[in-house]
């Protein structure tokens, strides 16, 4: 598996992964357009992919302007292999190299994603949108979480 920065050429496969998930599905896949992806990858932030044999298995995108994790998705066939954790680590290390400001995300309650973020040290801070859980990660907590994971 290769982890690398996402490019505009990756957008079609990113969309395949995004629309393959079984939780946090888009009610209307056309809501997240290729142009949206391009904007987040080239103007608002940065993204990374995990691929094998030129097939994207997962991706993560952070919006550094709005301090938000815009996306972190793993194709269902490749879940529970540490790919999401590795992408999160790459993304948050890059984010906190850019700014020490707090980053946030939201996810549906009672999902594997909720459990993933709690285990990774994200702090629940409220509700966002239509009943999603809003989580935050600050720089100090990220450093402490990473130090704790490195010891294990």
Question: What three-state secondary structure class fits 28?
Answer: coil
pLDDT of residue 49: 97
Alpha carbons within 13 angstroms on the beta-carbon side of residue 112 total 12
**Residue 45 is part of which domain span?**
2-150
pLDDT of residue 148: 46
Residues in a beta bridge with 56:
51
Q: What is the 3-state secondary structure (H, E, C) of 30-84?
A: HHCCHHHHHHHHHHHEEEEEEEECCEEEEEEEEECCCCEEEEEEECHHHCCCCHH
Domains in the chain: how many in total? Answer: 1
Q: Residue 28's pLDDT is what?
A: 45
Q: What is the CATH number of the domain that holds 87?
A: 3.40.630.30
- The parts of the chain modelled with pLDDT lower than 50 are 25-28, 148-152
The first and second tokens of residue 94, run together, are 């890059």
């Amino acid at each position: 598996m290769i982890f690398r920065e996402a490019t505009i050429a990756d957008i079609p496969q990113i969309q395949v992964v995004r629309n393959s998930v079984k939780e946090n599905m888009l009610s209307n896949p056309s809501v997240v357009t290729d142009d949206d992806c391009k904007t987040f990858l080239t103007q608002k932030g940065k993204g990374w992919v995990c691929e094998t044999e030129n097939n994207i298995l997962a991706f993560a995108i952070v919006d550094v302007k709005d301090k938000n994790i815009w996306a972190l998705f793993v194709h269902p066939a490749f879940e529970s292999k540490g790919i999401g954790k590795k992408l999160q680590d790459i993304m948050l290390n890059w984010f906190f190299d850019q700014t020490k400001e707090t980053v946030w995300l939201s996810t549906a309650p009672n999902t594997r994603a909720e459990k993933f973020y709690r285990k990774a040290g994200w702090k629940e801070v409220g509700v966002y949108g239509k009943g999603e859980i809003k989580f935050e990660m600050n720089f100090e907590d990220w450093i402490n979480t990473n130090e704790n994971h490195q010891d294990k």
